[in-house]
Amino acid sequence: MTASVSYFTHGQIGNIVIDSPPVNALSQHVRQGIVDALQTAAGDDTQIVVLRCEGRTFIAGADITEFGKPPQAPALAAVLEALESHPKPIIAAIHGTALGGGLELTLCCDYRVATTSAKVGLPEVNLGLLPGAGGTQRLPRLAGLAQAIDMITTGRPITARDALTARVVDEVCAGDLGEGATKFAEALIDQGEGKRLTRDIPLRMSDEDTALLSQTRDTIAKRLKGQTAPQRILDCLEAAGTLTFEEGLAAERRAFEACMEDPQSAALRHLFFAERAAGKIDGMAAGTKAQPVKHAGIIGAGTMGGGIAMCFAQSGFRVTLVDQDEDGLDRGLSIIKKNYEISIKRGRLSAEQVEGFLRNLEPTTDWQQLQDVDLVIEAVFENLELKQNVFQKLDEICAADTILASNTSYQSIDALAAATNRPDRVVGMHFFSPANVMRLLEVVRGEASSDITLATAMAVGKKIGKVCALSGMCYGFIGNRMLRHYGREAALCVMEGASPAQVDQAMERWGMAMGPMAVGDLAGLDIGYRAREQLSDEEKGPRVNYLLADRLVEAGRLGQKSGAGYYRYNPDTRAREEDPAVAEIITATRAELGITPRSVSEEEIVDRLTLALANEGARILEEGIAQRASDIDVVYCFGYGFPRFRGGPMHVAEARGLQSVVDTINRFHDTLAAENWVVAPLLARLATQGGSLADIGL
């Protein structure tokens, strides 16, 4: 046995207990411990073995930190072999989550019992992998191909109840798992039940299965375009239905290795750890605790305030939603209700759930209702003076320790803090539109924001299901500051010769959820136009960067809301279509600036847009605005539709090689507008001296 696996007997039952915090992953010492314990159990006078875990969960999978390192014996395959060839029946007793290799291990046991709250799943696809310990071969034998296709291609875990229906588990224990498993074991002994291997269950593919596989291939090719793991998963499932078990297992092994070597998996594994690291604040005093928050106030029931209120209400917080007048409130509430109605229609929420959420929501125009809130998020118009007034008013009304947060996109958190007598309790909480859908929350640290304030904003963000990343104070914070460079290059590619559709196609084919021109149309071209009106010519920069957008707005093309922007939108289907009128405006704008169009390749578009992000990201990192490069990746993948399987802009740069990045930026400096392409000093230094973006800030 090892320190993380123990074995004891109780009557006729041998008990293997895994205790390897935090999530009982199948690290080398756990694998070794299980093999040792199985050997002991084989030699004693017990009749049956129960395998279970201590701590918050059953085995959450292979140890992801071991991936990419030299393998250490015993391999997981040897553990599974030891389970299947064991002389005694083995019962897996599951609580928490049995995920990936954890669930696969249970499929090599003879029986499975689970607590009511347990979940089981094969989430490898989220890491660009496939179940590599027999999951693609054993799960369809137990649960059928349709269930296996759904679970393995989506990676979504299922509840114990659903697992029972799908025959993945044999019993759900309502009470104590240990007692339940013991009873189950005793019953098996009484009935003389013995070994029962999943691999022996016959599996034959029906015509419906074949049709489902091919249909899933098509939907996945569209929905998860460019991703390799899901298609490989379907190959393995097809093998399960058409080959012998051993042949299927060999096919799975080959496909798993191909995934492991695929840069997509490296990117997704990077993001797995990046997401978890982003929630941590470097240098925070040990023992800093978040303040309890039960009641939240939201100021402004507009696009953002409404979405933020939904996030809180559906996570069980009491929410007081304030707007300046009844009209504002009614407008906001009707949008919230409409959103929920759509969710009910699509079967995502039940009417009872929605009723519960709405009960948590208290709309009012009376600011005094904010007296006992624990946290307020301001989401009124983007105007500093107005926001400062709001903060001053909140400072007077709310209790002294209430945290005051702003959802501002651009204003200085320090200027807002200065309007209060509690600058240490002022912080930015920058959500992304639509706020009830987008996962990212930038927590913005003002000069005076205290550790407790930051810890509270992070904890609340996590509770409402957001992925939080800390940003220091600068114009646009991490995400929008970088976006200006991305948007500029998109605009310049069009001015130099590409069409808006070519730019969007290039980025979408590369993996962006939506190309930059289509995003502009969605957000509304008038927003940038109005923002530019406030700026001096110098602040606006060269006209070539924005003249086309101005011309479109002046022609009444505000984007989707006016039915036309860079594209025109089909009034019935809302589908975007290229518009000859835009081509004319582009031609005229180029002529006005004396530009002769040239052909801009897809490769150039992708390089310019992604490297513009990485170069500004490197500055942000060097200035300490971002704590780590991986936080920037989190911001882009969760807030801006950056393809997760590319790992984020900083990972893209790192994976490409920083010298190649610097060389390409220098080439752009020599051939394009030089002022836009000055290599960030950090990139230049790392490329020359060697070193990794991942080491900066540590």
C-alpha–C-alpha distance, residues 334 and 555, integer Å = 32
Q: Which option in ligand NAI, ligand 3HC, none does residue 379 bind, with CB closer than 5 to 8 A by kind?
A: ligand NAI
How many residues make contact with ligand 3HC (CB under 6 A)? 26
State the nearest-atom distance from the C-beta of 587 to ligand NAI, in Å: 31
Binder among 48, 380, 441, 564 for ligand NAI (CB under 6 A): 380
Amino acid at 641: G
430 in catalytic set: yes
Q: Which option in ligand 3HC, ligand NAI, none does residue 64 bind, with CB closer than 5 to 8 A by kind?
A: ligand 3HC
Give the other-Cβ count within 10 Å of 200's Cβ.
Answer: 10
Q: Which of 430, 485, 651, 669 is catalytic?
A: 430
* Closest to ligand NAI by CB, 242 or 324: 324
Per-residue string for binding with ligand NAI, 284-313, x by CB under 6 A?
Answer: ---------------xxxxxxx--------
How many residues make contact with ligand NAI (CB under 6 A)? 24
Beta strands in 13-110 (DSSP E): 13-18, 48-53, 90-94, 97-99
List for the chain the helix, strand, coil content (%; round to 5).
55, 10, 35
Q: Is residue 206 close enough to count as binding ligand 3HC by CB under 6 A? A: no
Q: Residue 535 has what DSSP assignment? A: S
State the nearest-atom distance from the C-beta of 65 to ligand 3HC, in Å: 5
C-alpha–C-alpha distance, residues 8 and 479, integer Å = 54
CA dihedral 339, 641, 561, 351 (to 10 degrees): -10
Give the other-Cβ count within 10 Å of 284's Cβ.
Answer: 13
C-alpha–C-alpha distance, residues 472 and 563, integer Å = 38
Q: Which option in ligand NAI, ligand 3HC, none does residue 643 bind, with CB closer than 5 to 8 A by kind?
A: none
Which pair of tokens denotes residue 582? Answer: 């835009």
Per-residue string for binding with ligand 3HC, 266-285, x by CB under 6 A?
Answer: -------x--x---------
Which 204-243 residues touch ligand NAI, going by CB under 6 A?
none
Which 58-117 residues touch ligand 3HC, going by CB under 6 A?
60-65, 76, 97, 99-101, 104
* Cβ-proximal residues to 396 (8 Å cutoff; 6+ apart), any chain: none
State the nearest-atom distance from the C-beta of 383 to ligand NAI, in Å: 8
Q: What DSSP string describes 144-193?
A: -HHHHHHHHHH---EEHHHHHHTTSSSEEESS-HHHHHHHHHHHHHHHT-
C-alpha–C-alpha distance, residues 144 and 146, integer Å = 6
C-alpha–C-alpha distance, residues 250 and 239, integer Å = 10
Where does residue 691 fall: left (phi above 0), alpha (psi -120 to 50 degrees), or beta otherwise? left
Which 433-452 residues touch ligand NAI, going by CB under 6 A?
433
Residue 694, judged by CB atoms within 10 A of its CB (0-12, 13-18, 19+), counts as middle
* Closest to ligand NAI by CB, 179 or 327: 327
State the nearest-atom distance from the C-beta of 562 to ligand NAI, in Å: 17
First-to-last C-alpha distance (Å) of the chain: 36
Q: Which option in ligand NAI, ligand 3HC, none does residue 100 bind, with CB closer than 5 to 8 A by kind?
A: ligand 3HC
Give the pairing of strands 403-406 and 171-173: unpaired
Which pair of tokens denotes residue 246? Answer: 């051993």
Q: Are the C-beta atoms of 460 and 290 separated by less than 8 Å?
A: yes
No. of helices (H) and no. of strands (E), the chain: 29, 19
Q: Which of 194, 157, 198, 160 minimizes the C-alpha distance to 177? A: 160
Binder among 16, 18, 25, 413 for ligand 3HC (CB under 6 A): 25
Question: Which H or E element spans position 119?
Answer: strand 119-121
State the nearest-atom distance from the C-beta of 58 to ligand 3HC, in Å: 9
Q: Which option in ligand NAI, ligand 3HC, none does residue 510 bind, with CB closer than 5 to 8 A by kind?
A: none
State the nearest-atom distance from the C-beta of 293 to ligand NAI, in Å: 20
* Closest to ligand 3HC by CB, 152 or 373: 152
Which pair of tokens denotes residue 284? Answer: 């925070």
Q: Which option in ligand NAI, ligand 3HC, none does residue 390 bind, with CB closer than 5 to 8 A by kind?
A: ligand NAI
Binder among 9, 231, 291, 324 for ligand NAI (CB under 6 A): 324
Binder among 408, 449, 499, 560 for ligand NAI (CB under 6 A): 408
Q: Is residue 407 close enough to count as binding ligand NAI by CB under 6 A? A: yes
Q: Which option in ligand 3HC, ligand NAI, none does residue 382 bind, with CB closer than 5 to 8 A by kind?
A: ligand NAI
Beta strands in 357-437 (DSSP E): 361-364, 375-378, 403-406, 426-431
Q: Is residue 140 close enough to count as binding ligand 3HC by CB under 6 A? A: no
Report the interface residues with ligand NAI, using CB under 6 A.
299-305, 322-324, 328, 332, 379-382, 386, 390, 407-409, 431-433
Catalytic residues: 430
**Interacting residues with ligand 3HC (CB under 6 A):** 22-23, 25, 57, 60-65, 76, 97, 99-101, 104, 123-124, 127, 129, 131-133, 135, 273, 276
